[in-house]
Amino acid sequence: MQVGLQMKLKAMLWDIPDSQRLEIANNILSNPVETFRESDELFIKALNSLKWYELTKLLGKQNLLVLLTDTTIRKLYPVQRRTYYTNARRLLSKYSVSTSGQSA
C-alpha cells in the first residue's frame, strides 16, 4: 500500500514544485500526524484526495479524530464533504477506543 499511497500523495500535491513534492510525500508517509498538524492545507488536500480507509490506515482513528477540527471541516468544499466529515468525526468520537482499552 505504501507505493500506491505515495503515488496518490504525489498526485495530491500537483500544485507544489517537483523539487518539494517527493519530500513532502515522504514526510507525510513517515510522520503524517505531525505533518498534517503543521499544515492544515496539506490535511485538507488529503481529506479531499484520499479514501477513508487510506486516511485511517495512515493516521489511525484516534489521530484522525484529533485532526478533524471544526475549523478544518469548515474549509472543506463542497457542503456534502463537510457533512461527511462532521458525521465521521461524530462516529469516531462515539466508537473510538481510548488508549487504556476502555470505550471513550
pLDDT for the residue numbered 89: 97
Q: In whole angstroms, what is the distance from residue 94 CA to residue 49 CA?
A: 25
In a domain, 79, yes or no: yes
Give yes or no for a cis peptide into 32 (omega within 30° of 0). Answer: no
pTM of the model: 0.87
Q: Would you state the cell numbers that stand for residue 55, as one nine-digit string? A: 486516511
In a domain, 104, yes or no: no
Q: In whole angstroms, what is the distance from residue 28 CA to residue 33 CA?
A: 8
Domain of residue 69 covers: 2-95
Q: How many domains does the chain have?
A: 1
In a domain, 102, yes or no: no
Length of the chain counted residue by residue: 104
Give yes or no for a cis peptide into 78 (omega within 30° of 0). Answer: yes
In a domain, 100, yes or no: no
pLDDT for the residue numbered 97: 57
Q: Which amino acid is at 11?
A: A
In a domain, 56, yes or no: yes
In a domain, 77, yes or no: yes
Are 64 and 32 a contacting pair, CB within 8 Å?
no
pLDDT of the chain along its 104 residues, tens only? Answer: 578 999 999 999 999 999 899 999 999 999 999 999 999 999 999 999 999 999 999 999 999 999 999 999 999 999 999 999 999 999 999 987 555 444 44
Q: Would you state the cell numbers that stand for residue 85, as one nine-digit string? A: 466529515
